[in-house]
Amino acid sequence: MLKTKLCVRAANKARHVLELKAYSRMLQCGYATSGKTHETDYVIVGAGSAGSVLANRLSEDGSNKVLVLEAGAPDPWWDWRIHMPAALMYNLAYRRYNWYYNTIPQQHVDNRIMYWPRGKVWGGSSVLNAMIYIRGNASDFDRWEAEGAQGWSYAECLPYFKKAQCHELGETDYRGASGNLHVSRGKSGNPLHEVFLQAAQEAGYPLTDDVNGYQQEGVGRFEMTIHKGKRWSTSQAYLRPALSRNNLNIESRAHTTRILMNGKNAIGVEFEQNGSLHTVHAAKEVILCGGAINSPQLLLLSGIGPADHLKSLDIEPVVNLPGVGENLQDHLELQVQHRCKEPVTLYKAQWKFPHIMIGIGLKWFLTQKGWGAGCHMDTGGFIRSSADQKEPDIQWHFLPSALYDHGRKPADCHAYQLHAGTQQASSRGTIKLKSRNPRDYPLADPNYLSHPQDLIDLRQCIKLSREVLEQPSFMKYSDGELQPGVDCDTDEKLDRFIRKMVDTAYHPSCTCKMGSDSMAVTDSQGRVHETSGLRVVDASIMPSITNGNLNAPTIMMAEKCADMIRGLPPLPKSTAPAWKPQFPDRQRENNSSL
């Protein structure tokens, strides 16, 4: 035990020294000196899930000078709220490492203002997320190619998923074993996870060995970006391992205010830090990695976007690209909850029971094991809402606890819940500027439920989830439905419940989409149309949203774009097959009535 503690302290000290060396290089280069202009080859705006990957890959070439500008702070080794997986709600629900965005009132969701947390820290939203590693369905990427993103088919994306990944179970045709991103299976051991898997099979759904492998459809064990009991963010996976390189510099608390344009050529950026403005010129490229909110905001502030919107704010249009900030897509989800008869949930792992929380924390600090070492969503699945769906359009996450208001309100009893969300909504939203002030948050309008089909799909989502939670395997544990509640027994009541309780799954995307149509913002390499020296690489360039959590595909996209930027040949196409429904005339296996 003593040897282990000494090794951990030595590793932490080494990391601290690297941070000091990196900051020293910033001072030597003059980046932290007020009001001066400096040069680099690549400026990466944002050190999140994509930016951290690019920082690592571009600085692999020692001839490239790379500067990363991050509006947030570093992710310190001592902050347990970042590194303890079970502590995810602390950063998800509070402001320390969080932009803490909100939408405008949503007309079709009872005029609710929806909370949108996004990472403002090294590692970005991979420091706030639930660490669930989901790649998406193979058909998502083939759809991208059909939508105009050439080179982004499943066969061309799978090799980059594998390149990024270091899976604890080793390499297969679908898994990588030597990448930067550690991926592991959930290990909480809670008995309710096995109950859920059994109940789903009783309801007629298949068991899949790997939702990221050959067969996504069905229920199975989920995978997480957790390594040896600690959150494995992109900062840990990509950014920090590159800190020792002399050609990589990182500026923290550096808020980029605009892209510097010479005509239609991006030549650098302006950023604010410690109350002073600085400029950096990019000899090769400016690369935006701010995500689906910040990247379109920065383009708009720089005069790139819909001309009418820019003129309304007295911003001179540089490039009229009507698609900037349009096509906003997100996943919505609800929780179907049951009271639990047996004391096997996470009910006592909350602040109302401080002695238990302290015990969990101490065990994690000493061993990186126990309840603190996981996110507890070890199981879940993907199903089709109806027989005419060609691929899954509903995602499940099972949790042996009950949460409310993004975890900001604790449960008041032993309970468990099934997170149920639709994956391919028809509604589309926008990101627009509130003003010319870069510090003003943009107006985020996902336009939830504006398409009537989305409400129908969520209603079906609840019905199918209820059915699983009422299977025989759950009878030993269920003490009745808490939410929506047994009185919520008509479509009209379900619709009222949906409008009151539906919430984001934290997956805004698609606001600078790839393609060649009139609303496309970038080409298939992330280069902004009608400009030079300017690229976007993050979830905003997805042509359409994928099935499942977005962190894994965002990392894959950055790996693939890094090769494009460096002029390297793409990895060879995969020949691994993808599963198609074996019962296309039915909504599920072993059930011909749906």
pLDDT band with cut points at 50, 70 and 90 for residue 583 = confident
Distance between CA atoms of residues 332 and 458, nearest Å: 8
- What would the mean pLDDT of 433-456 be, rounded to a whole number? 98
Query: Which is more confident, 9 or 392?
Result: 392
- Determine how many CB atoms are found less than 10 A away from the CB of residue 562: 22
Burial string for 102-111 (b: 16+ CB within 10 Å, else e) reads ebbebebbee
Q: Which long-range contacts (CB under 8 A, 24 or more apart) does 457-461 make?
A: 457/385, 457/393, 457/394, 457/422, 457/425, 458/332, 458/334, 458/422, 458/498, 458/502, 459/491, 459/494, 459/495, 459/498, 460/385, 460/386, 460/394, 461/334, 461/385, 461/394, 461/420, 461/421, 461/422
pLDDT above 70 (res 206)? yes
Q: Give residue 572's pLDDT band: very low, low, confident or very high (50, 70, 90).
A: very high
Residue 590 is predicted with a pLDDT of 73
> What mean pLDDT is predicted for residues 388-394?
94
Averaged pLDDT for residues 543-550: 98
pLDDT band at 354 (very low <50, low <70, confident <90, very high): confident
Q: What is the pLDDT of residues 164-199, one digit of tens each?
A: 999 999 999 999 999 999 999 999 999 999 999 999
Paired sense of beta strands 230-231 and 37-45, if any: unpaired
Any idea which of 9-23, 36-50, 334-348 has the lowest mean pLDDT? Answer: 9-23
Q: In this predicted structure, what is the pLDDT of residue 559?
A: 99
Give the C-alpha separation, 150 to 43, whole Å.
26
Residue found by looking up tokens 């704010």 in the block:
313
What percent of the chain is modeled with pLDDT above 70? 93
Residue 6 confidence (pLDDT) above 90: no
CB 133 within 8 A of CB 397: no
**In the numeric block, which tokens belong to residue 23?**
């900051």
pLDDT band at 37 (very low <50, low <70, confident <90, very high): low
* 507 belongs to the catalytic site: yes
Q: Walk me through the domains of the chain, giving residue ranges and CATH numbers.
A: 8-100+116-153+223-324+509-568 (3.50.50.60), 187-221+332-422+450-501 (3.30.410.40)
Spatial separation of the C-alpha atoms in residues 205 and 217, rounded to whole Å: 9
H-type helices in 302-413, by residue range?
307-312, 354-367
Residue from 326, 290, 292, 289 nearest 306 by CA: 326
Contacts of 56 (CB under 8 A, 6+ apart): 180, 238, 239, 241, 242
In this prediction, residues 83-102 reach a mean pLDDT of: 94
**Would the pLDDT of 26 be above 50?**
no
Tell whether omega for the bond before 484 is within 30 degrees of 0, i.e. cis.
yes
Per-residue pLDDT band for 398 (boundaries 50, 70, 90) equals very high
* Spatial contact of 550 and 539, defined as CB atoms under 8 Å apart: yes
Options 83, 167, 397, 507, the catalytic residue: 507
Asked if residue 410 lies in contact with residue 261, where contact means CB atoms within 8 angstroms, the answer is: no
What is the pLDDT confidence band of residue 155, given thresholds at 50, 70 and 90? very high
Helix (H) or strand (E) holding 298: helix 291-301
Lowest mean pLDDT among 2-16, 269-283, 321-335: 2-16
pLDDT of res. 49: 98
Give the least confident one: 85-94, 181-190, 572-581. 85-94
- CA–CA separation, 506 and 249 (whole Å): 30
User: What value does the mean pLDDT take over residues 192-212?
Assistant: 97
Q: Is the pLDDT of residue 527 over 60?
A: yes
% of the chain beyond a pLDDT of 90: 87
Looking at residues 250-261, what average pLDDT do you find? 98
pLDDT at 145 over 80: yes
DSSP per-residue letters across 111-159: TBPPEE--B-BTTGGGGTS--EE----HHHHHHHHHTT-TT-SHHHHHH
Grade residue 35 by pLDDT with cuts at 50, 70 and 90: low
Largest CA distance in the chain: 71
Please give the pLDDT value at position 353. 86
Q: Is the pLDDT of residue 307 over 90?
A: yes
In this prediction, residues 23-42 reach a mean pLDDT of 57
For residue 24, pLDDT over 80 is answered with no
**Cβ contact 340:478 at 8 Å:** yes
Radius of gyration of the chain (CA): 23
Specify the residue for token string 């950055």. 558
Residue 12 has pLDDT above 90, yes or no: no
Closest CA to 432 of 255, 313, 264: 313
**Which pLDDT does position 173 carry in this prediction?**
98
- Residue 9 above 50 pLDDT? no
pLDDT at 433 over 60: yes
Mean pLDDT for the chain overall: 93
**Residue where the block lists tokens 């969701």:** 109
pLDDT mean over 460-489: 98
Count of residues for the chain? 594
pLDDT at 204: 96
φ, ψ at 483 (rounded to 5°): -150, 125
